[in-house]
Each structure stands twice: as C-alpha cells, then as structure tokens.
Structure 1
Amino acid sequence: MQTDLLQEARRQAEICNACRYCEGYCSVFPALHRERAFSDGDLTQLANLCHNCRGCYYACQYTAPHEFDLNLPKALAEVRQDSWKAHAWPRVFADLFDRSGVLMAAGLVLGFALIFVLAQAMQPESSEGFYAYMSHGLMVAIFAPAFLLPLAAIAVSLRGYWRTVGGGTLRLGDVWRAMRSAGRMKNLEGGHGDGCNFEDEDRFTHARRHFHQAVLYGFLLCFASTASGTLMHYLLGWEAPYGLFSLPKLLGLPGGVLLCIGTAGLAALKLKADPQLGAPAAWGGEMAFILLLFIVSATGLLLFAATGTQMVGWLLPLHLGAVLTFFLLTPYSKMAHGFYRLAALAREEATKSTRQAQSAS
C-alpha cells in the first residue's frame, strides 16, 4: 500500500484521537479511540469501517483553513481504495478500472452484447422464452465460470485483507452482528440518528442510507430469483420461461425495481456531493459501477416487459452483456467494498467481544 496515504491517515487519526469530539458518530471513532498508536493494519481496518458519511468533517473545528487541515473522510477513503487495489487479485485489473472505469465498463458491455448477438445464430430450433434466442447450455457455459471465478478472486483478496488487519478467529455471533449492522446501514444513521450529511453540511438525511438499502436488498432479491430458478430447473425439472406469479418473478421484479431506484438515487447524490471528501481519483470508477448496476437492473425489467415481442432479440444481448461485465468486474469495482466492509464490521465485533471477555475475567 502507498506509504504517503498511510502516513497522512496516521497524522489525522492521531489528532482525532486527541480531540475525541466525534466519539459517537460511527464505528470508526470507538475503534480509533481504543488505540494509542496506529499500525498500517489498524489504519486499513479504520478505513474499511468508514462509510464516508462525512458528518465528522462538517463537525470538525480543525479542517482547512486551520493549520491541522483535517479531512478524515478523504484520508480514509484514499486508504480504503488503495487497500482494495493492494489486495485485489490480479491487481492489474483494479488499477485499470480505477483509471478508466466508465470506458472499460461501457466497452465490455457493448463488446459482450455483440458476442451474444452473434451467438443467437446458434439458437435452438424449438425453445420458449429467452431460450428461443440462446440455448440454456450456452448461458450456463458462459455464466457459471464468470460467477465462480470472481468469487475465488474476492476470497483471495479478503484473505490478504484479513491478514493485514490482524483478524483472528471469528465467532458466529460476531458475524451475525456484523450482518445486522450492514443490513441496517447502522453507520449511515449518524451520531444522533438523524442520518448523515453526505450531500450538504447543513442537511441531515437518511437518503443515502435508504438508497444503499434499496441496492442491497434489490441485489439480494435478484440473486434469490436466479437461485430459485436454478433450483426449479435442476431439482424440480421446471424449465423456464416462468409465469408472473412464479417464485423467480415474484423475487426478481421487486428486486429489479429496488436496484433501479437505489442506483439512480446514489448516482444523483454522488453528483451533488463534494468529490474532495472522498477519493477523487476513484470517482469515475465508482460512478461506472453504479451506472453498470443500474443498466443491469433496467435492462432486466425492460426485457421482462418486452417478452413476446421482437425487442427481446436486442434487449437480451444487452442485458446479458451488462450482467457478464458486472460479474467479471466485481473483484475490481466498488462491488468489492461490500465484502471488505462486512469483513471490517466482523473484525470490529470480534475485537469488542474479546475485550468484553477480558474485562469479565
């Protein structure tokens, strides 16, 4: 990881540790105030605990033009972004996505869409629904490795992160509490429960928290839709296409709507927010990820609406190209932050459990 980023984050963390004004704002400050000195691993852990709500910056009396020139959200965002790149495997793809995220995502979506258009020439002679345009076997052959290989890359990355932050053995209770915190987006509630001021220093709002929740639960519903369709196909022998009131549709349609709302909302907030309170160099890559996830959900909904029309022949390659791009870029885009943040929350819960046990004994 870059030494200059860690040194600047260490300088600011030491000043914050002496001040302690922001102690109740989020999980970062209790973790920060437990320490007297900060190793590189400590700073990496703090950076991945930070949700960049920016409340601490707007409340701070030591921001510019004060000589301390504190900007903790930016310092932690840059360490966090660098930690994802440092642990990404293979790293070269993370660097490339950071530099040219929008161009890279757009090129892959269009390139894969063109390949799927050409693949329709091999369409089966007698099938229904989407499989009338592309065979089930071809989809499985493409998407199974495209799903599993990125998961393997993320596992390698998280192993490196866990070693860096000094993570030990996790208890089931620690993981459960971390998942509850992530599900509630607890660290976006603000120090007093009024929300955060990501967009504007004078405005406390839960908008960012709610849009994040829409993305999270929309994604989980879409994943559950795909999983249920897979089980119905292979275990029960019920082949697609599925009706409106089938489990895949009942899960996938609201999931797609939530994803569209959440990603559109996050993109709008990101355009209004000050880029200098995050990692400015990563702004393009972050926006590319949000837009990619929006395209995945929007084309999926359009594809459902177009069922039975000639538009399916054009929308299906575009949707599949977007989904394939999303899968392949997951370890190197901001999608990885969900895995790292859950790991950071679990690490924090484990630390608190250990300290409570030591105090009790």
Structure 2
Amino acid sequence: MQQLEAVIHDARTLGAGNSLPLSASEAEVARQMHICNACRYCEGFCAVFPAMTRRLEFNKADIHYIANLCHNCGACLHACQYAPPHEFAVNVPQATAKVRMQTYADYAWPPAFGKLYKRAGLTVALALGAGLALFLALAAQAAGSLFHAPLAGNFYAIFPHNTLALMFGLVFGFAVLALGVGVSRFWREVTPADFPNTAPAASMSEAAGNVLRLTYLDGGHGEGCSEADDKVTLLRRRFHHFTFYGFMLCFAATSVATLYHYLLGLHAPYALDSLPVLLGTAGGIGLMVGPAGLLWLNLRRHPLHGDGDQKAMDRGFIALLLLTSLSGLTLLGLRDTGAMAILLATHLGVVMALFLTLPYGKFAHGIYRSAALLKWAIEKRQPNKLKLGDD
C-alpha cells in the first residue's frame, strides 16, 4: 500500500511539473528569477514579478507560466542593476522569450508541425502560401476559368461556394482544434491540482481587459516599450492593436457574409458600400498598417530585447498577414477585371496558409499569453501560500 501511495505521489509531482528536468532555457529563467526574487526592484512593472514573489522555487510549469506572462516590453532590462555586462547577466525579456519559443513547440499539436515551423518559420510560411496559391490557380486552369472576361466580381464563377466553404471550414476547424489541444495541455500543466476549476467572473473580466487593451505593453509606467535602445514608445502597442482589431474586422466581415448567404439569402458579390465589404476593407487596412509597423520595429529591435532565433517565426507570421491584406485589397480593387481568377487563387492560398500555420507561429503567443493572464488574474485573488509577511 505504501508503495502504491509513493507511486501516486510521484505521478502527481511529475504531472505538476515539479520534478521534470529543465532545458537550458528554462534553467536560465529559473536562475534569473531567483536573483530577481531577492531584489524585487521591478515588482511594479508587470504581472511577471508579483507572480514570481509568490514562489521560492521555479519548476518547469512555473517557468512556462511566467515566460508567457512576459510581454517583452524591456522595462525591467533597462531598470536592472544586474543586466549585462554585469556578471549576473540578468535579462528577463530575452530569457523568457527563449522559453516562450519552447512553449510553442512543446505544446504544438501535432508536435512535428511545431518543430518544423520553429526551425524555418519564414520559409514554411512563404512556401506554403505560394504552394497553395499555385494549386488553386492550376485547379482554376483545369476548370477553364483561370483566364476569363470580367465576371462582375463573382468569385463563385471561379470556385463554387460549397467548394470554398468546405476547404476553409476544414482549415479553420483544424486551426481551432490544434490551438485548443495546445492551450488545454498548457493550462493543465501550469495549474496545480488545488487550483480553482472555474474562473471567477472578476478574474475573467480582468484577464479579458488586459488582453484587449494590451495593458502590459505600456512598460509599467504607461509610456510603452523599449525597441532599438532604452527609449520608450507606444508604437508596438498601437501596431499590435491595428493588427489584432484588423484581424477581427476581417473575421467579422466573413461572419456577416456567411449570415447574409445562409440566413438572408443574399449572395456575393456584395456592393462596395455593403457591411461585409466595409468591414473587410477596414480590417485589410488594419492588417497592412499593423504588421508593417511590427516588421519595422522587429528589424530595429536591439538584440538584447528578445530572442534572435524567433525572428524567422515572427517574420513568417508578419509576412502572411501582409500578403493576406495586400492580396485581399488588390482583389477587391480588381475584382471586375480579367485578372480576378489569378488574384483570387493567390489570396485564397495565402489565407489558407495563414490559418494552417496559426497554431505554430507567432499567433499562438496571444493564446498562451491570454491563458497565463487568466491564471494570474485567478492566482492573485488566492491566499499566498508562502505567508511571508505582506507579500
């Protein structure tokens, strides 16, 4: 009986991530957290440091949780007396960025896709987009519809509605499933057995507000993030907002068009002043401004402000967003010309590539970070188990 209890205890310990061996990146975050826990100068900057103070040891689950709480604003790096070139070499933004990349690969489903995108994100993104666009163009050519007279913007004359609905339904369903499996595994592993099974409304509201406002991209002082040097700017926060809300407007345009088609019996093409077109145009502009700005910041970012190995992943996602918006707006402008079929194949191929790579690229950081912010919103309302004075 005692042996059985010992086995159960060991299984629970391993399941909570308490005794799993740490990778080099994880061990580096743990080392820096011990130093930061002794200093606590940066405690008011963001959620990372209050979460840190509730722990004396940092196991694998804690490290991935804290890494995904970090928004890489750079405030703590430039405030730290132990930052490089000090021998302690404390650089929390860079250390946690490396662990986040491991998070995306470790929790990806299927795992092989995550590892492939981690190694060559930009190449995979562009090759997949080009390959799918070529496939669709060849399919249109085989059907005799690649070269045509103007069709008054009728996409369904090129690809039937049911064909498009089936293709994108499968792709979207796969992306949702893969992201759901990944974040579910992440949540189970970063939450202890005694963690509340349901999130209080106040915690959910706080986490949602932090996600939608990008609260922790204000640097802890409301003035923004460090990019090329120690100067702060709100540009990253604003470009993120353009990107996120541009994406959501495009999604809203597709949703409204779906309701028009199935509920109201109104079929595409829609007029330029119709709600789906207006939403899609606004979203497309947002997805031009936001990703272009983020790419500009990414190219200028100081090497100490992040993980250089993530650049291919970051730029692959940005490239697909830019190509999606550019091809979509071009298609809208030229939909009543003989070039519509090739433009439609290009746009659809890029969009399919974007959705197929969502669970493995930079998009996933928003999902895992939202989960980490929800855990923090719940955790901060729980009694501090350390019971160290007023901590």
Corresponding residue of 1:122: 143
- For residues 134-213 of structure 1, the aligned pairs below 5 Å read 134-166=159-191, 168-169=196-197, 170-201=199-230, 203-213=231-241
**Distance (Å, rounded) in 2 between the aligned partners of 1:312 and 1:328:** 24
Superimposed CA distance per residue, residues 150-195 of structure 1 (whole angstroms, 9 cap, x where no aligned partner): 1111111111100111164223332222111111110011221111
**Distance (Å, rounded) in 1 between the aligned partners of 2:83 and 2:152:** 64
**Distance (Å, rounded) in 1 between the aligned partners of 2:144 and 2:54:** 61
Corresponding residue of 1:103: 123
Moved more, 215-224 or 38-47: 38-47
- Stretches of structure 1 lacking an aligned partner (at least 5 in a row): none
**Distance (Å, rounded) in 2 between the aligned partners of 1:118 and 1:74:** 44
Counterpart among 88, 91, 115 of residue 68 in structure 1: 88
Contact 2:226 2:233 in 1 (8 A): yes
* Per-residue deviation, 1:63: 1.5
* Per-residue deviation, 1:123: 6.7
Q: How does the TM-score come out when normalised to structure 2? A: 0.87
* Per-residue deviation, 1:276: 4.0
Could you tell me which amino acid in structure 2 is paired with residue 132 of structure 1?
A
Go from structure 1 to structure 2 and tell me whether the alpha carbon gap of 1:175 and 1:338 turns closer, same or farther (over 3 Å shift). same
Matched, 1:273 2:301: yes
More helix by share: 1
**Identity percentage of aligned residues:** 42
**Distance (Å, rounded) in 1 between the aligned partners of 2:152 and 2:337:** 15
Moved more, 163-172 or 89-98: 163-172
Please tell me the root mean square deviation across aligned C-alpha atoms, in Å: 1.9
Corresponding residue of 2:5: none
Matched, 1:242 2:270: yes
**Distance (Å, rounded) in 1 between the aligned partners of 2:307 and 2:164:** 37
Corresponding residue of 1:58: 78
**3-state SS, counterpart of residue 354 of structure 1:** coil
Moved more, 275-284 or 63-72: 275-284
**Distance (Å, rounded) in 2 between the aligned partners of 1:291 and 1:50:** 24
Matched, 1:298 2:326: yes
Could you tell me which amino acid in structure 1 is paired with residue 316 of structure 2?
A
Corresponding residue of 1:89: 109
Superimposed CA distance per residue, residues 200-241 of structure 1 (whole angstroms, 9 cap, x where no aligned partner): 21x111000000011111111110110111111111111111
Could you tell me which amino acid in structure 2 is paired with residue 141 of structure 1?
L
Go from structure 1 to structure 2 and tell me whether the alpha carbon gap of 1:277 and 1:197 turns closer, same or farther (over 3 Å shift). closer
**Distance (Å, rounded) in 2 between the aligned partners of 1:306 and 1:127:** 10
Could you tell me which amino acid in structure 2 is paired with residue 58 of structure 1?
H
**Distance (Å, rounded) in 2 between the aligned partners of 1:259 and 1:75:** 29
**Distance (Å, rounded) in 1 between the aligned partners of 2:131 and 2:104:** 26
Corresponding residue of 1:31: 51
Corresponding residue of 1:227: 255
Could you tell me which amino acid in structure 2 is paired with residue 214 of structure 1?
F
Contact 1:55 1:198 in 2 (8 A): no
Superimposed CA distance per residue, residues 224-272 of structure 1 (whole angstroms, 9 cap, x where no aligned partner): 1101111111111111111122111121111110111000000000000
Contact 1:119 1:134 in 2 (8 A): no
* Per-residue deviation, 1:198: 2.6
* Per-residue deviation, 1:327: 0.7
Contact 1:99 1:282 in 2 (8 A): no
**Distance (Å, rounded) in 2 between the aligned partners of 1:79 and 1:100:** 18
**Distance (Å, rounded) in 2 between the aligned partners of 1:279 and 1:264:** 20
**Distance (Å, rounded) in 1 between the aligned partners of 2:144 and 2:213:** 44
- For residues 320-359 of structure 1, the aligned pairs below 5 Å read 320-355=348-383
Superimposed CA distance per residue, residues 55-103 of structure 1 (whole angstroms, 9 cap, x where no aligned partner): 1111211112211011111110111110121111111111111111111
**3-state SS, counterpart of residue 353 of structure 1:** coil
**Distance (Å, rounded) in 2 between the aligned partners of 1:224 and 1:354:** 37
**Distance (Å, rounded) in 2 between the aligned partners of 1:172 and 1:229:** 32
- Stretches of structure 2 lacking an aligned partner (at least 5 in a row): 1-20
**Distance (Å, rounded) in 2 between the aligned partners of 1:138 and 1:127:** 20
Moved more, 165-174 or 327-336: 165-174
Contact 2:43 2:49 in 1 (8 A): yes
* Per-residue deviation, 1:35: 1.8
Highest Rg: 1 or 2? 2
**Distance (Å, rounded) in 1 between the aligned partners of 2:343 and 2:239:** 26
**Distance (Å, rounded) in 1 between the aligned partners of 2:306 and 2:81:** 19
* Per-residue deviation, 1:26: 1.3
Contact 2:104 2:361 in 1 (8 A): no
Go from structure 1 to structure 2 and tell me whether the alpha carbon gap of 1:59 and 1:312 turns closer, same or farther (over 3 Å shift). same
* Per-residue deviation, 1:109: 1.0
**Distance (Å, rounded) in 1 between the aligned partners of 2:227 and 2:153:** 47
Contact 2:152 2:335 in 1 (8 A): no
Number of corresponding residues: 356
Superimposed CA distance per residue, residues 270-326 of structure 1 (whole angstroms, 9 cap, x where no aligned partner): 000023432222211111111111111111111111120122122111110100001
Matched, 1:251 2:279: yes
